[in-house]
């Protein structure tokens, strides 16, 4: 749940592409649509996915969107281009952008200790804001608490304020000296959400809605329960022993600023275009946000051409596939797995949203990317 999951190479289809070949100018050609459809349909069975929606864009313009499979099995409702899903840790890039807006307005300083904004949080005098953003704070993940995790899995989790989860994680032992290593922890982004609340003087979700969602992304919402609102939302499913089982809707306060958003492929493609196009943050702020800390590598391949997880900065993972630079983040809550993948040099965006805990949308997104580049 809300964990960074390295891409697993054995499940990827190998497609040959040239190093400098740009993405297809028209990803909506009939032959490419057929290849995308074939990949998507095959993965429904291979990954035991109930439903998924795929969106492809360039610089924020949606070029392709289609649903596959079933979003609601009880009523036999198909997934379509507009189906909404819980997006899990893709939320982190929104939280980071909100924090960087406060940096841009000189209300938050990246190098300042967290204690300046959140006094009383354990270890906050040792951790900086930048270390939270880049996942190098050393804070343990509050989802390591077995009672909390069991309550989420059993759909009995109680509604709590963000401060509860920050305290839960901060009171665990530090994994390492702050700034010395990289390790994924939802506590970092819960703390950023709490920082935003304290500095902005309003709830995290309200600040995010006012500054980003209501302005640009009408289909992206802060979820109070795991089932996105509206008439075109995807129910979450587990798959075991050959059958799908419905995940009962559960309270999402545990996910908070680390993963409580729901969205659609069209909104996420639009978001990618806005963010990388400098519409959310000023160019200088954007460069700062996307600059990963030096010498704090992630655990990934040593192959520079095929190392999709080289570094992490402000809710984005940086890497390369077949020599092409990419930037991405996945997301996972019980019943949903998601992927937002961007090739920044070409402005190519691939979003894969699913309603199955078993899904590997990272693999699907890379297979689609390779098909587009190979053409």
Please tell me the predicted confidence (pLDDT) of residue 301: 79
Closest CA to 325 of 337, 335, 310, 340: 310
Please tell me the predicted confidence (pLDDT) of residue 21: 35
Instruction: Provide the 10 A C-beta neighbour count for residue 274.
Output: 19
Q: How far is CA 244 from CA 19, 252, 335, in A?
A: 41, 22, 10
Please tell me the predicted confidence (pLDDT) of residue 145: 95
Q: Is the pLDDT of residue 8 over 70?
A: no
Please tell me the predicted confidence (pLDDT) of residue 146: 94
Is-contact 44 71, C-beta < 8 A?
Answer: no
Is-contact 300 309, C-beta < 8 A?
Answer: yes
Q: Is the pLDDT of residue 135 over 80?
A: yes
pTM of the model: 0.93
Is-contact 346 23, C-beta < 8 A?
Answer: yes
> Where are the extended beta strands (E) located within the chain?
51-58, 61-72, 77-78, 85-86, 221-222, 237-240, 243-246, 261-263, 311-313, 316-321, 324-333, 336-343, 348-354
Please tell me the predicted confidence (pLDDT) of residue 299: 75
φ/ψ of 203, rounded to 5, equals: -55, 145
Closest CA to 40 of 322, 375, 368: 368
* pLDDT, average across residues 353-359: 97
Chain position carrying tokens 């909506």: 28
Please tell me the predicted confidence (pLDDT) of residue 273: 98
Q: Who contacts 214 (Cβ-Cβ below 8 Å, separation ≥6)? A: none
Q: Is the pLDDT of residue 297 over 60?
A: yes
Q: How far is CA 276 from CA 280, 339, 347, in A?
A: 8, 17, 8
Domains of the chain as residue ranges with CATH: 9-374 (3.40.710.10)
Please tell me the predicted confidence (pLDDT) of residue 26: 54
Average pLDDT, the chain: 92
Is-contact 204 194, C-beta < 8 A?
Answer: yes
Percent of the chain with pLDDT over 70: 92
Please tell me the predicted confidence (pLDDT) of residue 374: 87
What's the pLDDT band for 304 if we cut at 50, 70, 90? confident
* pLDDT, average across residues 83-102: 98
Closest CA to 308 of 296, 323, 294: 323
Q: Where are the alpha helices (DSSP H) in 139-264?
A: 146-153, 162-170, 186-200, 204-208, 214-216, 256-259
* pLDDT, average across residues 84-92: 98
How far is it, in rounded angstroms, from Cα 144 to Cα 152? 12
> Residue 261, CB half-sphere, CA atoms under 13 Å: how many?
32
Please tell me the predicted confidence (pLDDT) of residue 20: 30
- CA torsion 267-271-277-280 (nearest 10°) is 130
């Amino acid at each position: 749940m809300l964990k960074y999951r390295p891409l697993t190479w054995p499940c990827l289809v190998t497609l040959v592409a040239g190093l400098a070949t740009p993405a297809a100018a028209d990803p909506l050609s009939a032959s490419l649509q057929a290849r995308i459809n074939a990949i998507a349909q095959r993965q429904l069975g291979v990954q035991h996915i109930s439903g998924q929606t795929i969106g492809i864009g360039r610089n924020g313009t949606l070029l392709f969107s289609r649903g596959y499979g079933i979003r609601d099995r009880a009523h036999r409702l198909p997934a379509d281009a507009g189906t909404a899903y819980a997006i899990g840790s893709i939320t982190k890039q929104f939280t980071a952008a909100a924090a960087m807006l406060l940096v841009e307005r000189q209300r938050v300083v990246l190098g300042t200790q967290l204690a300046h904004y959140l006094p009383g949080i354990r270890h906050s005098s040792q951790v900086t804001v930048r270390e939270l953003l880049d996942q190098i704070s050393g804070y343990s993940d509050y989802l390591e608490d077995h009672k909390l995790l069991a309550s989420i899995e059993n759909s009995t989790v109680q509604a709590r304020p963000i401060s509860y989860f920050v305290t839960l994680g901060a009171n665990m032992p530090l994994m390492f000296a702050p700034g010395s290593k990289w390790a994924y922890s939802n506590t970092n982004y819960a703390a950023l959400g709490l920082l935003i609340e304290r500095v902005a003087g309003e709830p995290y979700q309200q600040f995010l809605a006012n500054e980003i969602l209501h302005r640009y992304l009408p289909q992206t919402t802060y979820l109070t329960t795991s089932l996105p609102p509206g008439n075109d939302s995807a129910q979450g499913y587990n798959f075991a022993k050959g059958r799908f089982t419905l995940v009962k809707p559960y309270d999402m306060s545990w996910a908070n600023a680390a993963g409580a958003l729901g969205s659609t492929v069209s909104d996420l493609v639009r978001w990618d275009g806005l963010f990388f196009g400098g519409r959310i943050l000023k160019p200088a702020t954007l460069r700062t946000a996307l600059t990963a800390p030096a010498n704090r590598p992630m655990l990934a391949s040593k192959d520079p051409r095929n190392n999709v997880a080289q570094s992490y900065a402000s809710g984005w993972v940086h890497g390369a596939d077949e020599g092409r630079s990419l930037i991405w983040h996945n997301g996972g809550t019980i019943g949903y797995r998601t992927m937002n993948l961007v090739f920044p040099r070409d402005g190519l965006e691939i979003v894969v949203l699913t309603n199955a805990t078993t899904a590997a949308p990272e693999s699907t997104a890379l297979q689609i990317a390779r098909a587009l580049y190979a053409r």
